[in-house]
Amino acid sequence: MTAATTPVVIDRTNLKEFIARRVAKELRDGDFVNLGIGLPTLVPQFLAPEVQVTLQAEVGMVGAGPCPAVEPDPRYVVDAGGKPASIRLGGAFIDSVTSFTLIRGGHVDATVLGALQVDAEGNLANWIIPGKMVPGMGGAMDLVVGAKRVIVAMEHTQRGEPKILPRCTLPLTAVKCVDLIVTEMGVIEVRPTGLVLTEINPEFTVAQVVAATAAVLTVSPNLVEIR
């Protein structure tokens, strides 16, 4: 049995935190950022103290919390998932038209969101599994079209099956929109020539990462340990 076919057994504890910690290093001081639900919401806690970002929430917030809260009533301030939220001092409440003017109009520096599938061209599928899960796209289609940088933060595989494919098989959220993929195995850049592994989690071998990726994966000559 070669290394490439050795089943990968990884500790799933803190896996989301591991991915979020790496994503946090992608954000720059002053960035205006929209975070998807789930894993991406863990990112702010891993930002370096000198990196201050402003969070956008599609429900209508510039400067989404956690704190300090200036709005005490949870009936009037919710996050994108409808849960009670807060707005930062100096933030602004905006209506949905303005919210998506920011999102679609190229005013958001980066968005971080999960994926069902990503492919070699940077196509993204994350909103529907026909016949199984039809939640709707919410703001995701606008976000990945409009944000300057689209970062996919996800587990590398789904129950052992690759999620990074030569071509997405699920209906797309948008075409050629993904810039960077961060998983527990490493960091993959989407370049015009294809996918390039630039950083690797030392718990894995290159062969294991390649084996868990269905798309062609070029290994960067400057491959480094995940930051």
Partner 1 sequence: MSKLLSLDDAVAKISDGMTVMFGGFMGCGNAHLLVQAIVDSGRTDLTMISNDASTPGYGIATLVEHKRLRKLITSHVGLNPQVAVQMNAGELEVELVPQGTLAERIRSGGAGLGGVLTPTGIGTPIAEGKDVITVDGRQYLLEKPLRADVALISGYRVDRNGNVWYRGDARNFNPVMATAADLVIVEADHLVELGDIAPEDVVTPGVFVDHIVVGGSL
Say how far apart CA 12 and CA 15 lie, in whole Å: 5
Candidate list 138, 162, 166, 194; residue touching partner 1; CB under 8 A: 138
Say how far apart CA 9 and CA 4 lie, in whole Å: 13
Chain positions 43 to 102 lying near partner 1, rule: CB under 8 A, are 57-61, 71, 73, 75-78, 81-82, 85, 87, 93-97, 99-100
Using CA of residue 36, residue 40, residue 42, residue 46, what is the dihedral sign? negative
Least distance (Å) between residue 46 CB and partner 1: 26
Q: How many residues bind partner 1 (CB under 8 A)?
A: 43
Between 101 and 205, name the residue whose CB sits nearer to partner 1: 101
Say how far apart CA 124 and CA 170 lie, in whole Å: 9
Distances in Å between the Cα of 66 and the Cα atoms of 8, 123, 164, 179 are 37, 32, 33, 27
Phi/psi for 145 (5° steps) reads -80, -35
- Which region, judged by CB under 8 A, interacts with partner 1, from 46-54, 110-118, 139-147, 205-213? 139-147
CB 175 within 8 A of CB 145: no
Candidate list 27, 172, 187, 226; residue touching partner 1; CB under 8 A: 172
Between 56 and 157, name the residue whose CB sits nearer to partner 1: 56
Candidate list 31, 109, 119, 142; residue touching partner 1; CB under 8 A: 142
Least distance (Å) between residue 142 CB and partner 1: 4
Contact residues for 166 (Cβ-Cβ < 8 A; gap 6+): 119, 120, 214, 215, 216
Binding characters for partner 1, 95-134, by CB under 8 A (x = yes): xxx-xx--xx------------------x----x----xx
List beta partners, residue 199: 187, 224
Between 21 and 88, name the residue whose CB sits nearer to partner 1: 88
Chain positions 178 to 207 lying near partner 1, rule: CB under 8 A, are none
Say how far apart CA 201 and CA 31 lie, in whole Å: 26
Contact positions vs partner 1 (CB under 8 A): 57-61, 71, 73, 75-78, 81-82, 85, 87, 93-97, 99-100, 103-104, 123, 128, 133-142, 145-146, 171-175
